[in-house]
Amino acid sequence: MDTDTQRLLHTFSALADLGQEIADTGDFEEMLRNSFHLLLGSLAIRRGGVTEYDREGHQLRLVAARGLGVGTSETFNIAAHHARDLASLGSAITLADATKEAERFLEDHKSELASIEIDLLLPLVVRERLIGIVLLGEKASGEKFTEEDFETLKVLSRHIGVGIHSHRLLEEVEHKAIENQKLYDGLRKIYKETVHAFAAAIDIKDRYTQGHSVRVGKYSEIIAREMGWSDDEVEGITIAGYLHDIGKLIVDLSVINSPERFSAKESKEMSRHPSAGYEILARINHPYAEIPLMARYHHERIDGNGYPDGLKGDQIPPGAKIVTLADSFDAMTTDRPYRNKLPLEDVLEDFRANTGTQFDPVVVCAFCRAFLKEIEGSKERRLLNLLNRNYDNVESVSPLLNQLLVDFDGGSLAATAH
Amino acid sequence: MTDAGREIAVQSRSVGDVAIIYASDYLNKLSGERIERECRRQLESGCRTLIINFRDTELVNSIGVSILVGVIDAAEQSTARLIFSDVNNHTANLFEMLGLTRHVSLATNEDEALSLAAQI
């Protein structure tokens, strides 16, 4: 094999290895070191370094080096106009270079470069911007760099420049992704606080049910979690619980605050609130798409006798079935103008009587399991803490909860997957 | 550098005050850095003649060349002599073409390398 062919093969091999290094983005510093090694090895260059240009700091920072003396500065100052000159020049510069752009740069830096035995500079330019400079010393052969060498180095250094540029872009994208996540988290926090404020506004209108919406949200959350819903879904149903009665905002205040049981006319007025709630919520682009439907269907019954649409069984979204149970549970366990809260035993008896007609057995069983786990101490006391404000000796209902599970779930304590 | 978490030692031996280091079949970054470390270790311990035996080496890539240039530098700074032995024709041509042979002596085999070392 003649020398030219061997030289060509050696260069091609370096280029192939370099391509592989650049593609492997695992460790940027390591990639740079290896790439620079390859560049030096392609022509057996004795020393050099890769510098990265810091546009804000007007500095060249040494990011890879080989054979430079101990104590070589890690940074080189470079004026902005020099960076522009080098970017426009784009080709190799020897210390004896006489082009106008190179001259201006060398005027300021020649002695500094000569002191570390650098003979050749390769500006790394991507999209007409200076990314860095490759600094190179002499070849092991002692021969001058040839035009062919310049071409080889130009190709290899261009790969390194693109590698640095890609890494910078990746860093910028990552930085922007973090910023976006922070922004998103902030918006989500505002959304939750707004929803909470709405829940409070809804409950303030009804003087007898203060705190109802927030409690329904919390009960719904407990049930959904027991049913194995994901964190996002649980968050969605909690918000649906907070907002399920938002339609009451358009119901006449005198009806809502009536101290008596509703008349037929008042009932009709009151029954507008699920549809009205849907109309209000459907105009908002919620992170959880089903929230308006949960508000609309929280008075539906699985036997089809509910309102506003008389949906049956699986026609009712699972989330609405959960909110229905949570809503009923809170209604029965708090005082109303026309009756006091019911004893817990009566509440559970109501569940037993209406499971399969008003309530979905799967939801009732999930509620019972969550309740029992809190009593047994295997789960955080959230439901119990909400109930303990109004009830003593909540734990005594364990047998009734177990009986409900036997009746509707074969006594299983295993969570039912969503 | 480690393979599966275990440092792979470079084969080397001493003949008098000459250190002989054996290169692997493919001189790339991994094996090259091990050789460079061993050479520097030998130089730091006072060795003034290093023989790198390439009997098992079929290929030297660009990083391998760059590492050998580093070894040449280290040897020159320590005023030590560097001899490459058992280099195959292809690799010898490469070293010749790249000018490495200006800084190292090539020997056909290890005995010749030891003879060269003794001539100093």
Whether A134 and A121 have beta carbons less than 8 Å apart is answered as: yes
Instruction: Compare CB distances from B100 to A3, A7, A140 and report the shortest one's residue.
Output: A140
Average pLDDT, chain A: 88
The number of residues making up chain A comes to: 418
pLDDT of residue B5: 41
Instruction: Compare CB distances from A41 to B63, B72, B99 and report the shortest one's residue.
Output: B63
Q: Which long-range contacts (CB under 8 A, 24 or more apart) does B20-25 make?
A: B20/B51, B20/B52, B20/B53, B20/B110, B20/B113, B21/B50, B21/B51, B21/B52, B21/B53, B22/B52, B22/B53, B22/B55, B22/B56, B23/B52, B23/B53, B23/B54, B23/B56, B23/B57, B24/B56, B24/B57, B25/B56, B25/B57, B25/B58, B25/B59
pLDDT of residue A25: 61
Interface-testing mutation among B65, B84, B88, B96, with chain A (most A C-beta atoms within 10 A): B65
How confident is residue A91, by pLDDT bands cut at 50, 70 and 90? confident
Nearest to A122 by CA among A92, A160, A159, A158: A92
pLDDT of residue A291: 93
pLDDT of residue B35: 93
pLDDT of residue B8: 60
Query: A38 to chain B nearest CA, in Å?
Result: 5
Q: Do A34 and B29 touch (CB under 8 A)?
A: yes
**A414 domain-assigned:** no
pLDDT of residue A204: 81
Q: Which residues of A touch B63 (CB under 8 A)?
A: 17, 34, 37-38, 41
- Domain of residue A393 covers 207-409
Q: Do B69 and A46 touch (CB under 8 A)?
A: yes
Whether A269 and A227 have beta carbons less than 8 Å apart is answered as: no
Q: Which residues of B touch A14 (CB under 8 A)?
A: 61-62
Rounded distance between C-alpha atoms, residue A381 and residue A222, angstroms: 10
Nearest to A52 by CA among A169, A175, A165: A165
Q: Which residues of A touch B69 (CB under 8 A)?
A: 40-41, 44-46, 67, 140
Residue given tokens 């399969």 in the structure block:
A356
Question: Which pLDDT tens digit goes with each residue over A92-147?
Answer: 888 877 677 778 888 888 888 888 999 999 999 998 899 999 999 999 999 999 99
The least confident of A132-136, A157-161, A207-211, B75-79 is A207-211
- Kindly give the residue spans of alpha helices, DSSP state H, lying in A62-142: 80-89, 100-115
- Of the three residues A153, A175, A197, the one that is the final residue of a domain is A175
Number of domains in chain A: 2
Whether B28 and B63 have beta carbons less than 8 Å apart is answered as: yes
**In chain A, what percentage of residues exceed pLDDT 90?**
53
Residues A134 and A17 in one domain: yes
Rounded distance between C-alpha atoms, residue A369 and residue A227, angstroms: 10
CB contact, 8 Å: A141 with chain B? yes
What is the CATH number for A240? 1.10.3210.10
Residue A305 neighbours by CB distance under 10 Å: 11
Question: Which pLDDT tens digit goes with each residue over A303-325?
Answer: 999 999 999 999 999 999 999 99
Per DSSP, the three-state class of A45 is strand
- Of the three residues A175, A191, A221, the one that is the final residue of a domain is A175
**A404 domain-assigned:** yes
Q: What is the mean pLDDT of residues A233-254?
A: 90
Residues A235 and A141 in one domain: no
pLDDT at position A278 over 70: yes
Question: Which pLDDT tens digit goes with each residue over A227-239?
Answer: 999 999 999 999 9
Residues on chain B bordering chain A, Cβ-to-Cβ distance under 8 angstroms = 29, 61-67, 69-70, 72-73, 90, 93-94, 97-100, 102-103
Q: Which residues of A touch B62 (CB under 8 A)?
A: 10, 13-14, 17, 37-42
Query: A133 to chain B nearest CA, in Å?
Result: 19
**A182 domain-assigned:** no
A127-147 b/e with 16+ CB inside 10 Å = b?
Answer: eeebbbbbbbbbbbbeeebee
CB contact, 8 Å: A42 with chain B? yes
pLDDT of residue A409: 80
Query: A17 to chain B nearest CA, in Å?
Result: 8
Domains and CATH numbers, chain B: 2-118 (3.30.750.24)
Residues A62 and A158 in one domain: yes
**A185 domain-assigned:** no
Residues A163 and A217 in one domain: no
Interface-testing mutation among B98, B102, B104, with chain A (most A C-beta atoms within 10 A): B98
**A194 domain-assigned:** no
Residues A170 and A230 in one domain: no
pLDDT of residue B1: 41
Instruction: Compare CB distances from A43 to B64, B93, B98 and report the shortest one's residue.
Output: B98
Rounded distance between C-alpha atoms, residue A283 and residue A279, angstroms: 7
**A200 domain-assigned:** no
Better pLDDT: A404 or A28: A404
Nearest to B105 by CA among B75, B64, B66: B75
Q: Which helix (H) or strand (E) holds A129?
A: strand A129-136
pLDDT at position A252 over 80: no
CA distances to A100, A106, A133, A160, B38 from A89, in Å: 9, 13, 12, 18, 43
Residues of chain B under the 50 pLDDT cut: 1-6
Question: Which pLDDT tens digit goes with each residue over B63-78?
Answer: 999 999 999 999 999 9
Residues A88 and A146 in one domain: yes
What ipTM was estimated for this complex?
Answer: 0.89
pLDDT of residue B4: 42
Residues A163 and A225 in one domain: no
Residues A353 and A232 in one domain: yes
Q: Do A38 and B98 touch (CB under 8 A)?
A: no
pLDDT of residue A414: 41
Query: B112 to chain A nearest CA, in Å?
Result: 24
Whether A107 and A136 have beta carbons less than 8 Å apart is answered as: no
CB contact, 8 Å: A140 with chain B? yes
How confident is residue A418, by pLDDT bands cut at 50, 70 and 90? very low
Q: Which residues of B touch A67 (CB under 8 A)?
A: 69-70, 73
Q: What is the mean pLDDT of residues A185-214?
A: 84
What is the CATH number for A72? 3.30.450.40
Nearest to A375 by CA among A344, A352, A406: A344
Residues A169 and A213 in one domain: no
Residues A296 and A374 in one domain: yes
Rounded distance between C-alpha atoms, residue A61 and residue A79, angstroms: 14
**A183 domain-assigned:** no
Q: What is the mean pLDDT of residues A344-355?
A: 96
Question: Which pLDDT tens digit goes with each residue over A352-393?
Answer: 999 999 999 999 999 999 999 999 999 999 999 998 787 888
Q: What is the mean pLDDT of residues A391-414?
A: 83
Instruction: Compare CB distances from A14 to B62, B73, B103 and report the shortest one's residue.
Output: B62
Q: Do A41 and B66 touch (CB under 8 A)?
A: yes
**A197 domain-assigned:** no
pLDDT at position A44 over 90: yes
Residues A98 and A217 in one domain: no
pLDDT at position A78 over 50: yes
CA distances to A219, A324, A343, A388, A394 from A381, in Å: 12, 22, 20, 10, 12
Rounded distance between C-alpha atoms, residue A220 and residue B78, angstroms: 78
Q: What is the mean pLDDT of residues A140-165?
A: 91
pLDDT of residue A393: 86
Nearest C-alpha in B relative to A14 = B62
Residues A106 and A226 in one domain: no
